Amino acid sequence: MAKELGLDSVKSYVWIHHYLLPCFPTTDDAAAEGGYFHVVSHGGQRNGLEQPASALGVPYHLNVSMGWDSSPRCSAIADWTKEPGYPSGAVIVNNTPERFRGALLRAKEFTLQRPPKERVITINSWNEWGEGSYLEPDTVHGMKYLEAMREVFGTPAAK
């Protein structure tokens, strides 16, 4: 369908759009990451990745997510663990800057196998505090998520 629509490529905003988190109310970050990368390679999930990304007919650009927690969007009086559907989804737990760095490395390795014009990785997200996915410095990890990005991708050459 992407080709029929005239799209040059497709991507994901966050892992959970293509990979349903397997455990509720929480899913470990390692399971979320592993599941997403498996679906990219083998298909079997949703929103375009019912088949492997290589079968889409256009390049698929990987996403790296630093976490997910939409429970802040749930009603304060509702029991979010029993309400079906968004925003009452599973929360990714045990997401750390070190795990994020590992996911970035995995995405980089995969992406470097693509032709140069297709080497794009999206990262979720700079400041999505309401869904627990942000790279901005915080009081728990400070600059560690940004430092992980610098470790994996380096710094731009001085001009």
Q: What is the pLDDT of residue 24?
A: 85
Residue 84 located in a structural domain: yes
Taking Cα atoms as reference points, which of 43, 42, 23 lies closest to residue 32? 23
Residue 2 located in a structural domain: no
Confidence of residue 159 (pLDDT cuts 50, 70, 90): very low
Domains held by the chain: number:
1
**Structural domain for 145, as ranges:** 10-152
No. of helices (H) and no. of strands (E), the chain: 3, 7
What pTM was computed for the model?
0.89
Taking Cα atoms as reference points, which of 111, 117, 90 lies closest to residue 153? 111
Q: Torsion angle of alpha carbons 10, 12, 17, 18, nearest 10°? A: 60
Rounded to an integer, the average pLDDT of 121-150 is: 94
Taking Cα atoms as reference points, which of 156, 135, 153 lies closest to residue 65? 135
Residue 159 located in a structural domain: no
Residue 124 located in a structural domain: yes
Cα–Cα distances (Å) from 146 to 24, 128, 159, in that order, read 29, 15, 21
Rounded to an integer, the average pLDDT of 43-54 is: 90
Q: Tens digit of pLDDT for each residue in 56-103?
A: 989 999 999 999 998 887 766 566 566 556 777 889 999 999 999 999
Residue 73 located in a structural domain: yes
Q: What is the CA radius of gyration of the chain?
A: 16
Residue 104 located in a structural domain: yes
Q: What is the pLDDT of residue 83?
A: 58
Residue 142 located in a structural domain: yes
Residue 1 located in a structural domain: no
Rounded to an integer, the average pLDDT of 111-125 is: 94
Confidence of residue 20 (pLDDT cuts 50, 70, 90): confident
